[in-house]
Amino acid sequence: MLDLMSTQLSAIESEQVMNPKVGGVILFSRNFADRCQLIALVQSLRQLRPELLIAVDHEGGRVQRFRDGFTNIPAMGNILLAAEGNMALAKDWARELGFLMAIELLACDIDLSFAPVLDVNGVSEVIGLRSFSKKPQEVAILAEQFVLGMAQAGMAAVGKHFPGHGSVAADSHIAKPVDEREEASIEKLDLLPFKSLIRQKRLQGIMPAHVIYPKVSADPAGFSSYWLKTILRNKLGFDGVIFSDDLGMKGASVAGDYCQRAKAALEAGCNMILVCNDPQGVEDILTHFQWPIADVNSTHHPSRLLACKPQVMVSLENEQRWKAAKAIAQRCL
């Protein structure tokens, strides 16, 4: 999954998108001028490759790529605060906000938002109010409702950042975070929301963290077969898509150059790798990386990616639930 540099496809990007190694495109704020332009950009991608998985980070709060013409989705950590601790009300609001976020993207023919954040809010600089709560049980409860709302709109859910980014301060976009806790501590706290939603088969995708947990594995979670195969696949029974986090992030640099990062992520168990904010990195992988590689074909099932595609096209016209959800979003800002 690659990104684009502007609001229109360049000739080079059009050629890259046609490469059979490419299965998806992730959009950012730089790809957005207004809603009409966004729809035209998505249509241009569909004309080249109708089957592409088109995604965006559109969680709400400070991580929302499209603004003008879209509802401002509150940070997930604001929901329970705005509900003044009333969990029943917060659950209702979380479900409707999940529906709201999803239906506005689906109306623009965008398949997927990398959401929800399942991290438990602890000391992380980059997570904070992106998390539903400081309590793992509350994260699990509210995330379940948010995902239910997404599903009711027709969108798949991708939980992140497995096994949990909330208890380490450093930001993996610009640093190499290390979490020194024992596996038992991580399982008791951070893994609880993931385990809960996997058990209920609510997640079609999961994105691992670029965090090293040295007392568990020497590799960052996204490059660790222990975390992705032994724990996520075998112990927790997850059978959806494992998306790498952006291989251009500082936390991914421990694996080497881009081809080495791609190989490490795929061999560890990722099904789709993301390369963002570095056109040369994309070109390096498309030109020099040899696909397929050993042990990937046996674990990669196209049906997993198909499960991340919406099953229905939606419209916002006369959508009363959408209008009511917009009012909830305003109350939680």
How many residues are listed for the chain in this entry?
333
Determine contact, residues 58/101, Cβ cutoff 8 Å: yes
Of 119, 190, 245, 246, which one is the catalytic site residue? 245
Alpha carbon 154 to chain centroid, angstroms: 16
Integer Cα distance of 68 and 79 in angstroms: 22
Residue 12 has phi, psi (to 5 degrees) of -65, -45
The label of the residue with tokens 């992520």 reads: 265
Which of 276, 270, 197 lies closest to 227, judged by CA?
270
Would residue 245 show up in a list of annotated catalytic residues for this protein? yes
Which of 222, 225, 200, 196 lies closest to 211, judged by CA?
222
Helices 258-268 + 279-288 axis angle, to 10: 70
In the chain, the amino acid numbered 76 is M
Of 92, 109, 171, 173, which one is the catalytic site residue? 173
Residues in CB range of 287: below 8 A, 6 or more apart: none
Residue burial 85-99, b: 16+ Cβ < 10 Å; e: rest: eeeeebbbbbbbbbb
Integer Cα distance of 297 and 271 in angstroms: 10
Helices (H), the chain: 11-17, 35-48, 77-82, 87-106, 136-153, 183-188, 191-199, 225, 258-268, 279-288, 302-306, 320-332
Which of 96, 54, 89 lies closest to 74, judged by CA?
96
Would residue 173 show up in a list of annotated catalytic residues for this protein? yes
Which of 206, 237, 212, 182 lies closest to 118, judged by CA?
206
The set of catalytic residues is: 173, 245
